[in-house]
Structure 1
Amino acid sequence: MARIVVIGAGVGGLATAARLAVSGHEVTVFERSDTVGGKLGRYVHDTPAGSFHFDTGPSLLTLPQVFHDLFEATGAKLDEYLDLTPLDPIVRHVFPGGGPALDSCADPDEFAARIGVALGDRAAADWRRLWRRAARVWTASHRDILRRTVDSPRDLAALAWRLGDLAAIGPGRTLRGLGRSHLSDPRLRMLLDRYATYTGADPRRAPAALVAVPYAELTFGGWYLRGGLGTLADALLSRCLDLGVTVRTGETVTRIDAAGGRVHGVRLAGVHAPVPADVVVANADALTVYRDLLPHPGRLAALTDRSLAGFVLLLGVRGDSGLAHHNVFFPTDYHAEFDAVFGDPGRGVRARPATDPTIFVTVADDPTARPTGHEAWFVLVNAARHGTAPDAVNWRRPGLADAYADRILDVLAARGVDVRDRLVFRETRTPADLDAATAAPGGSIYGTAGGLLRPANRGPVHGLWLVGGSTHPGGGLPMVTLSAQIVADEIGPAW
């Protein structure tokens, strides 16, 4: 039986702790915040009309089988803890210039038919052709990448890729390039580009292999958890406690002790004596690990390409807006938005708040989330990370957050959704706020920008492992949960 310390009680940390506990290890989780869940945050705003409840992180659960597997592996059933509700539409896409919206769904044939009705027969045929390629990419990724460690480019090169897989994955090709070669309708290209942001990346530089992301969502479905996605954190905490895991909130790990090339324990803020451990699992951003907890210049040098962040509005809205659960309002110029979010130092373009951004609006049809006759809106805009570098924005600049919130509401109104006179309240969450709340450097949602090769799960010293959205196999709830499975399998059982 190993003494295992898990740093961070996000989904990755809790899932790893539960898997290791059921394997017979002694597991302690230290979480700097007073609550568990990490980026799977929640917020309640009380008003005279009643309480508004928000998920302030992920708003969609995909690949539900990953979570069924997790709960079954730890001796439980997912349905005993969570109420999964399938969504149709998964996302309503509203394109610039008017015209019909496009509702995505988990039936590929039905979605292609909806594309035909909204965008024409040629667009539907294009999508079917892209879909066949996406299926090959997903199959290869799921088989060879998503459930095993990938520590270096050599690991990728050594995989027994089939020639058809390589042709579909298109090494060196971008997601934007894939869309331009397969999709004649610019609206479908915008839809495809958006999936790069699921991994925090710019579609103009993100690998074409990310076509597997929409395939997973639109094949296995998108789901809402009744009561909010934060209930997943509650369920994982319950499993951990039932399995004997010690979870200590309000405890900040300041350093990993690793003399002689192996871990020996961790140091806690305000505590003189170290906490001994045979194994340490860090559910923290890889940048935080290699900059602060276990300084390692070699690993740190590879973490400069940071993912995008998000600017959030939490709105209490009177009345019924008639929106879907998830809605995307696209801009006229998607290219200009990515220039604003990521900057381009080579062309002297600094990052800045996008003036005409894509706006993502989540309105949960859940009576537990809002008072009767009201809606709780989670509004997300792609944003540059917080900082002073050319590819960042100082989101703490006085007046910026309120001014940008005004701008977003004005843009929504221009796109036909004006709620400015129906607001009960509004609050903002900037990338700087996410940085402070979750120790995500700069508020980068996914750590490093998306790609096939992300920071390895295996640390540079014996006994150190990394899980979570900043590491392999990537960001998003199912990928984070798969990272926990990879690490728990590598550590192995206590007997």
Structure 2
Amino acid sequence: MVIGAGVGGLTAAVRLARAGHRVTVFEQAGSVGGKLGRYSRRTPEGLFRFDTGPGLLTLPQVFTDVDLDPQPVDPIVRHVFPDGTRLDSCADPDEFAARVRTALSPAAARDWQRLWRRAARVWDTSWRHVLTATVDSPLALYRLAWRIRDLAAVAPGRSLRSLSRGYLADPRLRMMLDRYATYAGADPRRAPAALVAIPYAELAFGGWYLRGGLGTLADALATRCLELGVDVHTGRRVARIDRAGNRASGVTLAGGRTVPAEVVIANADARTVYRDLLPHPRRLSRLGAASLAGFVLLLGVRGRTPGLAHHTVFFPADPDAEFDAVFGGRLAGDPTVLVTVADDPAVRPAGYESWFVLVNAAPQGPVDWRAAGVADGYADRILAVLAERGVDVRDRIVFREIRTPADLEAGTLSPGGSIYGTAAHRLLRPANRGPLAGLYLVGGSTHPGGGLPLVTLSAGNVADRIGPAR
């Protein structure tokens, strides 16, 4: 049985059904996909479609359960720095080094290539020892000690910021590297240096887009579930994980119906599992601080906007002030802004653009996103920030839709709307194996972490551990 029809839950269901298991999925929302959300709006101008969650597909080789047609994105990201410099990332290491040389300096390119060699070692170590295996305790990391070179590459105890300053003299490259910590919901000043594997994966294997939006991945997984005979029930909330002694025995749905199962897989935030579904004070206390959340604007924009790539990041003059605000539970007045505009006729009317605008934000709680005027006021501020950075679309907006951390909390039952559960300020995420026999956790709040490929790996690792039906 699977609780939650996010990408992790659906992937686990597919893998186990293929292994001969009879699988049932219960999803509290009215549709599948979890944080891989979608929004559509029909206007007199036509239909606008948006991904409201992930907007970039990486490591396409891990999505083996469905037939996808990923389209490469080049540049993967256009970085616009406070001084106006632009740097376009790509999946060819030599070409990217050349772009760094042209946009920044030959010295910056040499620094980046040195860091790249270090990142390759971290990636190789992470892939072999961490990402492709279930990890149940910190003791598992001591396998790395068998190869001192691997342990030195991962550098336990060193932060991503420290690694950045040790390799990169140009503050713009350091600014770019810092951004990858937020991909794991973490502050780069506290995030482990091992997160340098994130930019390596993106820039070594490329960034990809699915026509019609990344939400089509959820559709493909749901279709595969149906083909394999998986029972997927939407609009059915699980209230409790049941136990018989030290073993998970099934679930109780909201309303009181009990459903027995030999194995339970929770594709839910680990905090929700250990606070609500299977109260476990000790595991709950070990989860650490919540990850950052996101504040999103969905904009229908008239006309076409020059200078934007598929993904464009606009950096602030003082990134540390942004981190201080977001991780201190406040609104950032001058944040990093990500703008995603897909050149895909399937997501916007001719002559218009569908904009996804994202800024890092504190979760619901430290900031009361439901308070009158907070969300609208911050939306106005973000549009003003974009205007200050040279992209003013305020007179071309057909409509705007706001998504706050409080909305994500309500829609996905993620506490506070934290995107990644707990912030990745430690090398290990919460374990995939639960405190009961036959209970497993998958998804972005657990090992090996957030993001579509890692969520998919978590599901595959758990399915492999459960094994084929007897």
Structure 2 equivalent of residue 488 of structure 1: 463
Structure 2 equivalent of residue 446 of structure 1: 420
Note the 1:289-308 alignment, pairs <5 A.
Answer: 289-308=273-292
Matches of 2:251 and 2:74, distance apart in 1:
46
Deviations 1:342-380 (A, max 9, x none): 01xxxxxxx211000000000001001000000000000
Structure 2 equivalent of residue 227 of structure 1: 212
Structure 2 equivalent of residue 374 of structure 1: 352
Matches of 1:141 and 1:199, distance apart in 2:
15
Amino acid at match of 1:385: P
Counterpart pick for 1:151 among 136, 142, 154:
136
Structure 1 equivalent of residue 261 of structure 2: 277
Cα RMSD between the aligned structures? 0.8
**3-state secondary structure, aligned to 1:432:** helix
Q: Does 1:479 align with 2:454?
A: yes
Structure 2 equivalent of residue 92 of structure 1: 78
Amino acid at match of 1:91: V
Structure 1 equivalent of residue 46 of structure 2: 50
Deviations 1:444-490 (A, max 9, x none): 00001114211100000011000000000000000000000110001
Note the 1:298-337 alignment, pairs <5 A.
Answer: 298-322=282-306, 323-337=308-322
Deviations 1:50-95 (A, max 9, x none): 0100000000000010013x34xxxxxx2xxx32100000000000
Matches of 2:196 and 2:74, distance apart in 1:
21
| 1:259 shift after superposition | 3.1
Amino acid at match of 1:425: F
Note the 1:22-171 alignment, pairs <5 A.
Answer: 22-68=18-64, 70-71=65-66, 78=67, 82-98=68-84, 100-171=85-156
Structure 2 equivalent of residue 201 of structure 1: 186
| 1:279 shift after superposition | 0.6
**3-state secondary structure, aligned to 2:240:** strand
Amino acid at match of 2:465: E
Matches of 1:63 and 1:198, distance apart in 2:
15
Identify unmatched segments of 5+ residues in structure 2.
none
| 1:168 shift after superposition | 1.7
| 1:158 shift after superposition | 3.3
Q: Does 1:431 align with 2:405?
A: yes
| 1:397 shift after superposition | 1.2
| 1:179 shift after superposition | 0.6
| 2:420/2:449 contact within 8 Å kept | yes
Q: Does 1:214 align with 2:199?
A: yes
Deviations 1:140-188 (A, max 9, x none): 0001100111111111123454222222211111001111110000000
Aligned length: 468
Structure 1 residue runs of 4 or more that deviate by more than 3 Å after TM superposition: 158-161
Matches of 1:160 and 1:27, distance apart in 2:
39
| 1:394 shift after superposition | 1.1
| 2:48/2:300 contact within 8 Å kept | yes
| 1:273 shift after superposition | 3.3
| 2:38/2:52 contact within 8 Å kept | yes
Matches of 2:284 and 2:149, distance apart in 1:
35
Q: Does 1:462 align with 2:447?
A: no
Structure 2 equivalent of residue 21 of structure 1: 17
Amino acid at match of 2:285: A
Counterpart pick for 1:409 among 383, 386, 391:
383
Matches of 1:165 and 1:491, distance apart in 2:
29
Amino acid at match of 1:363: V
| 1:427 shift after superposition | 1.1
TM-score when normalising by structure 1: 0.94
Q: Does 1:7 align with 2:3?
A: yes
Counterpart pick for 2:363 among 385, 392, 409:
385
| 2:387/2:393 contact within 8 Å kept | yes
**3-state secondary structure, aligned to 2:320:** helix
Matches of 1:276 and 1:357, distance apart in 2:
48
Matches of 1:379 and 1:159, distance apart in 2:
40
Amino acid at match of 1:490: R
| 2:156/2:427 contact within 8 Å kept | no
Matches of 1:16 and 1:452, distance apart in 2:
24
Counterpart pick for 1:264 among 233, 241, 249:
249
Amino acid at match of 2:83: G
Matches of 1:28 and 1:41, distance apart in 2:
22
**3-state secondary structure, aligned to 1:26:** coil
**3-state secondary structure, aligned to 1:327:** strand
Structure 2 equivalent of residue 250 of structure 1: 235
Matches of 2:238 and 2:348, distance apart in 1:
36
Matches of 1:255 and 1:64, distance apart in 2:
35
Counterpart pick for 1:363 among 337, 341, 358:
341
Deviations 1:380-421 (A, max 9, x none): 00000111xxxx211111100000000000000000000000
Percent identity, aligned pairs only, is 72
Structure 1 equivalent of residue 374 of structure 2: 400
Matches of 2:144 and 2:464, distance apart in 1:
19
Amino acid at match of 2:214: L
Identify unmatched segments of 5+ residues in structure 1.
72-77, 344-350
Matches of 2:443 and 2:330, distance apart in 1:
28
| 1:118 shift after superposition | 0.3
1:161 and 1:58, CA in 2 relative to 1: closer, same or farther beyond 3 A? farther
Amino acid at match of 2:259: V
**3-state secondary structure, aligned to 1:375:** strand
